[in-house]
Amino acid sequence: MLPLRKREVQPAAGHTSGSLSALKRFNFFLYGTIAILTSFFPLYFQNIGLSKVEIGMIMAGGPFISIFANPFWGYWSDRLQNVKRILIFLLTGNLLATIVVFQLREYAVIFAFMLIFFFFNSPTFSQSNSLILNAIENTNHKFGAFRLWGSLGWAIIAALAGPVLSWMGLVNLWMLYGIMMLISLAFTIGLPQGRVTSKPKTERQSYWKVMLSSRLFFVFVILGILISVPNSINQTFVTLYISNLGGSNELIGWSVFLSAIFEIPVFLLFDRFLKKSARMMLGGLVIVSILFVIRWLLMSAAGGPLQVIFIQVLHCITFGGYYYIGTSLTALLIPAEYRATGQAIYALTWGGISGIIAGLFGGWMFDYLGPQTMYSICAIISVAGVAGFTFMWMKYRKQSELAAS
């Protein structure tokens, strides 16, 4: 293995309090704006006559494109040494692509332009996170204090969008989204540049040897797909489920609000009480997976939109818990010099791979089997994840006890 180069740290002195405040406001509007599309795009496509299968195929395009878009834009961030400029490119391309999509009615053409949209949209959050991390480097600021504004924007703006769209009509979704995206672009003024620092270099062969040498991480990633696929199915089709049960746009907005706003205290509690122990984290994954099973069983038995909305509150402890514990476990299992790629592989399982499977098969199940059956199948898939994590936890506990004796 080649020797690691010492990381070159860029001073953060050039980042004024004004630019950091602008970063908080930018995250609020960025996350809130994208929450509008995430929540109401499936309803819009249904409104113009697309089937659930066609909607699922379109939404599966996002995770597929993200596999290629994230490294592409990450490369240009490194090369230009200006994350702010990349974000402006991404938001501008996002806005232009959506304007075109909303003028189309032919499925094949919509699908093609949605792939272009996802090419600009999917790397947005990772790039904004990079901007935060680079801006606060060598300061006393914490990442959570900035990411918190994204969660608030996601919850509040999605809740407000519901009644606005009931008044405007879903056909005018493009106007609301366009206005909000222009506001987000306006808040890029004053953002810190977010200079990207250099990273350690390693040989490719040795890198993969280290990644695959952690059998515990490899098994965790595979089992994680069983938990992530049902969650991605729900994320794609829950708004259609609420609508089919007679729910209004206002209720859909409140559903998004309740599922997002309570993530904040959940993250804070895990940050305080979760120990850096693989045994404890695996036990936590067992509990979270069981809660996922309960959540999907409740969704399959829901008889009205209000029931679905209250069940969605479980999102904060199920996905929030899985996301936090999984991120922490990945950081614990993977050596520091390979940790960034370990996190990327973990993110690929709950975002990329699971999203593709959810879009392809979730739409078919919704259309031909019905949403109740779809959620019952999600519960069965999650049961397999519970069994896998339980076996994994028991085996690791036994190995730990033998090593201690």
- Across the range 179-198, mean pLDDT stands at 80
Stated pTM of the model: 0.75
> Containing H/E element for 21?
helix 17-47
Closest C-alpha to 58, from 380, 399, 359, 398: 359
8 A C-beta contact, residue 188 and residue 92:
no
8 A C-beta contact, residue 367 and residue 244:
no
Closest C-alpha to 20, from 139, 124, 127: 139
What is each CA distance from 216 to 11, 193, 220, 401, in whole angstroms? 37, 38, 6, 17
Q: How far apart are CA 352 and CA 361, in angstroms?
A: 14
In the chain, the N- to C-terminal Cα span, in Å, equals 35
Closest C-alpha to 82, from 192, 185, 6: 192
190 CB contacts (<8 Å, ≥6 apart)? Answer: 18, 19, 22
8 A C-beta contact, residue 7 and residue 340:
no
In which band, very low, low, confident or very high, does the pLDDT at 383 lie, cut at 50, 70 and 90?
Answer: very high
The amino acid at residue 344 is A
Provide the pLDDT for residue 143.
Answer: 63
Q: How far apart are CA 287 and CA 180, in angstroms?
A: 38
300 or 251: whose pLDDT is higher?
A: 300
SS3 labels along 253-290: HHHHHHHHHCHHHHHHHHHHHCCCCHHHHHHHHHHHHH
In which band, very low, low, confident or very high, does the pLDDT at 10 lie, cut at 50, 70 and 90?
Answer: very low
DSSP letters, 36-56, are HHHHHHHHHHHHTT--HHHHH
Token duo for residue 333: 């299992």
Token duo for residue 243: 């609508």
Q: Does residue 6 surpass a pLDDT of 50? A: no
Q: How far apart are CA 117 and CA 113, in angstroms?
A: 6
Q: Does residue 379 surpass a pLDDT of 90? A: yes
Half-sphere exposure of 39 (CA within 13 A, CB side): 33
Provide the pLDDT for residue 299.
Answer: 96
DSSP SS3 for 405: coil
Closest C-alpha to 162, from 233, 231, 96, 243: 243
362 or 78: whose pLDDT is higher?
A: 362
8 A C-beta contact, residue 90 and residue 77:
no
Phi, psi dihedral angles at 11 (to 5 degrees)? -65, 150
Render pLDDT for 49-98 as a digit per residue (tens, 0 to 9).
Answer: 998 889 888 988 888 887 788 777 776 776 777 888 889 999 999 999 99
- Across the range 287-295, mean pLDDT stands at 96
Q: Does residue 374 surpass a pLDDT of 80? A: yes
Q: How many CB atoms lie under 10 A from the CB of residue 2?
A: 9
- Across the range 299-317, mean pLDDT stands at 91
Render pLDDT for 136-167 as a digit per residue (tens, 0 to 9).
Answer: 777 777 666 777 788 888 889 988 988 898 89
8 A C-beta contact, residue 258 and residue 309:
yes
Q: How many CB atoms lie under 10 A from the CB of residue 322?
A: 22
Provide the pLDDT for residue 301.
Answer: 94
Q: How far apart are CA 202 and CA 338, in angstroms?
A: 9
Q: How far apart are CA 206 and CA 3, in angstroms?
A: 12
Q: Does residue 35 surpass a pLDDT of 50? A: yes
Mean of all residue pLDDT scores within the chain: 82
